[in-house]
């Protein structure tokens, strides 16, 4: 069904605020099958984001694989110098994070994500030319600068096309490709360093060149296939564009982006923000420490460098499995903290056993198997972000709090790059074990504080029925955001 010319020229605002207040009515008048249209959008939007998340994971993590290919000797970065060079990525990431968010207010996300992909692909290729600590550090820093724009761009693109109730699933799809990238990177490195060893170009240089070229190629392809903003998307018909824009407007996806200074201050002063900042800082420090030096840790068990690269791939797939299972279970039982604590305890078991068991050829297989327990740390990272969205409510408050918490994650990555030193892997395991223990204490304290607050509000509700939890306005988080509520409202109950 086609709308008449008068309806076509009617403004989007009029459509959204007049007789089309019901999305089903709008879909019927425009002749739109909503489910079919969203599948069409999925096939145009998600592959681009999945591809970039796959490549950013490969390019960020290739330094650990290049270590086994001789990059340390060729760049004269023995010992702690190599760790500092690795950590420069996170320094660039932290510095660029706020500018990237500001730039996205003015630049079309389609051009932004393709441009930064092209830039970091060039940087990865240029890393093959590094021959000193200084050049390697500069290259890693610029890689962090350009990759810092991927997450905010991906979030914004998701917000442009999907209702907020659809964000979690779509975000999980493209975010999961980061774990897949670690496995793919290990396999690529194994193939390169087992077949390109008799060339004037070193294996680690081939690794940088080939992976950088892949990223450049994908960035160029994305210029063509990445959809524009909905009102200019060429793969949609005029009626479909009208429907999507009204659908987003009715969901208040874009109209609720007004900055609220009061909520910003509230986010900065809220103890939950800083508890989650510390927990995410520690969790990411442990994750980056192990994932970056995983091939070297495996080689330290007695495996050859080549086999160590191959044996590092299953960890990424195991991380992906844990992420999906734990996330499903967390949603199924409406719990974040107990799942996070359980994953942390399993990681502690792994690290404790690895430290206690002597590293001998006879124990290499057992120790390799125990390393998989450490993956419960990496696989549960998304629980922290999920806990944040469940306990920090209000658009501006959530934006400010999430920015602080993600900066904590980046700083954790910086510190994590320095945890493991060559030949001192047991020391790194003990540090990781200690850090996770501290994080679990913080998680338990935060859960206790939230439980106390819920009970206090229940008591208030018994005294004043208007503060009961059953009020629809508070039970629906989307409505709370639209009405400019925050989690300080006494009718809100925190999910634990």
The pLDDT of residue 47 is: 92
**Which residues 6+ apart lie within 8 Å of 305 measured at CB?**
68, 69, 193, 295, 299
Q: Could you count the other beta carbons within 10 Å of the beta carbon of residue 208? A: 27
User: In the numeric block, which tokens belong to residue 184?
Assistant: 């793919």
Q: Give me the mean pLDDT over the 24-50 stretch.
A: 84
| 362-to-49, 352, 355 alpha-carbon distances in Å | 44, 19, 16
Q: Of the ranges 61-70, 78-87, 190-199, 342-351, which one carries the lowest mean pLDDT score? A: 190-199
Q: In whole numbers, what is the pLDDT of the chain averaged over residues?
A: 80
* Backbone phi, psi, residue 233, to 5°: -65, 120
Could you read off the pLDDT of 124-160 as tens digits, one per residue?
999 999 989 999 999 999 999 999 888 778 877 877 7
On the question of pLDDT at 257 being above 70, the answer is no
Q: Which of 31-45, 148-162, 202-216, 434-448 has the highest mean pLDDT?
A: 434-448
Within a 10 A sphere around the Cβ of 454, how many other Cβ atoms? 16
Q: Once rounded to an integer, what is the mean pLDDT over residues 216-235?
A: 86
Alpha-carbon distance of 221 to 474, in angstroms, equals 44
Instruction: Say how many CA atoms lie within 13 Å of 385 toward its Cβ.
Output: 18
pLDDT at residue 358 is higher than 50: yes
With a cut of 90, say whether residue 97 has pLDDT above it: no
Going by pLDDT thresholds of 50, 70 and 90, the confidence category of residue 212 is: very high
Q: How far is CA 378 from CA 47, 158, 289, 346, 385, in A?
A: 24, 24, 11, 12, 13
Percent of the chain with pLDDT over 90: 25
Question: Rounded to whole angstroms, how far apart are CA atoms 487 and 496?
Answer: 13
Distance of CA 126 to the CA centre of its chain: 26
The whole-number pLDDT of residue 317 equals 81
Specify the pLDDT at position 264: 82
Contact 121, 215 (CB under 8 A): yes
pLDDT at 163: 74
pLDDT at residue 478 above 60?
no
Q: What is the pLDDT of residue 182?
A: 75
Angle of helix 167-195 versus helix 34-68 axis, rounded to 10: 30
What is the structure's pLDDT at 383?
82
Asked if the model's pLDDT at residue 434 lies above 70, the reply is: yes
- Residue 243: count of CB within 10 angstroms of its CB: 24
CA distances to 78, 256, 265, 474 from 482, in Å: 54, 6, 19, 11
Give residue 435's pLDDT band: very low, low, confident or very high (50, 70, 90).
Answer: very high
**What is the pLDDT confidence band of residue 168, given thresholds at 50, 70 and 90?**
low
Pick the more confident residue, 387 or 428. Answer: 428
Look at residue 492 and tell me whether its pLDDT is greater than 80. no
Give the angle 38-39-40 at the CA atoms, nearest 5°.
90
């Amino acid at each position: 069904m086609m709308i008449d010319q008068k309806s076509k020229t009617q403004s989007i605002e009029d459509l959204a605020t007049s007789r089309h207040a019901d999305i089903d009515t709008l879909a019927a008048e425009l002749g739109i099958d909503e489910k079919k249209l969203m599948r069409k959008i999925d096939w145009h939007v998600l592959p681009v984001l999945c591809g970039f998340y796959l490549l950013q994971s490969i390019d960020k993590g290739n330094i650990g694989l290049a270590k086994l290919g001789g990059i340390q000797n060729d760049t004269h970065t023995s010992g702690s110098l190599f760790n500092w060079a690795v950590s420069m990525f996170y320094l660039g990431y932290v510095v660029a994070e706020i500018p990237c968010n500001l730039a996205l207010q003015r630049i079309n996300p389609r051009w932004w994500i393709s441009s930064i992909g092209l830039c970091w692909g060039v940087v990865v290729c240029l890393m093959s030319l590094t021959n000193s600590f200084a050049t390697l550090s500069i290259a890693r820093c610029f890689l962090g600068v350009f990759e810092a724009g991927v997450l905010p761009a991906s979030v914004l693109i998701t917000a442009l096309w999907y209702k907020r109730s659809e964000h979690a699933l779509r975000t999980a799809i493209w975010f999961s490709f980061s774990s897949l990238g670690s496995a793919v990177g290990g396999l690529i490195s194994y193939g390169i360093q087992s077949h390109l060893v008799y060339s004037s170009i070193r294996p680690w240089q081939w690794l940088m060149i080939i992976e950088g070229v892949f990223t450049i190629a994908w960035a160029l392809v994305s210029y063509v296939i990445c959809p524009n903003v909905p009102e200019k998307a060429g793969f949609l018909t005029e009626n479909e564009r009208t429907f999507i824009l009204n659908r987003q407007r009715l969901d208040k996806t874009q109209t609720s982006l007004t900055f609220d200074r009061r909520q910003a201050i509230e986010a900065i002063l809220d103890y939950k923000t800083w508890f989650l900042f510390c927990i995410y800082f520690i969790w990411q420090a442990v994750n980056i420490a192990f994932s970056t030096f995983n091939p070297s840790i495996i080689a330290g068990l007695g495996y050859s460098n080549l086999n160590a690269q191959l044996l590092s791939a299953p960890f990424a797939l195991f991380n992906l499995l844990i992420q999906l299972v734990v996330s499903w279970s967390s949603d199924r039982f409406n719990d974040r903290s107990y799942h996070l604590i359980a994953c942390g305890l399993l990681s502690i078991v792994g690290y404790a056993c690895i430290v206690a068991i002597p590293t001998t050829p006879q124990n290499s297989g057992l120790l390799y198997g125990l390393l998989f327990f450490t993956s419960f740390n990496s696989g549960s990272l998304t629980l922290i972000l999920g806990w944040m969205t469940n306990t920090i409510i209000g658009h501006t408050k959530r934006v400010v709090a999430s920015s602080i918490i993600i900066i904590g994650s980046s700083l954790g990555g910086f510190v994590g790059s320095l945890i493991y030193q060559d030949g001192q892997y047991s020391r790194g395991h003990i540090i990781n074990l200690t850090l996770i223990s501290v994080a679990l204490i913080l998680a338990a304290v935060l859960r206790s504080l939230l439980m106390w607050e819920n009970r206090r509000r229940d008591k208030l509700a018994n005294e004043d029925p208007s503060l009961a939890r059953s009020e629809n306005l508070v039970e629906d988080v989307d409505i709370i955001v639209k009405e400019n509520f925050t989690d300080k409202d006494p009718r809100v109950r925190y999910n634990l």
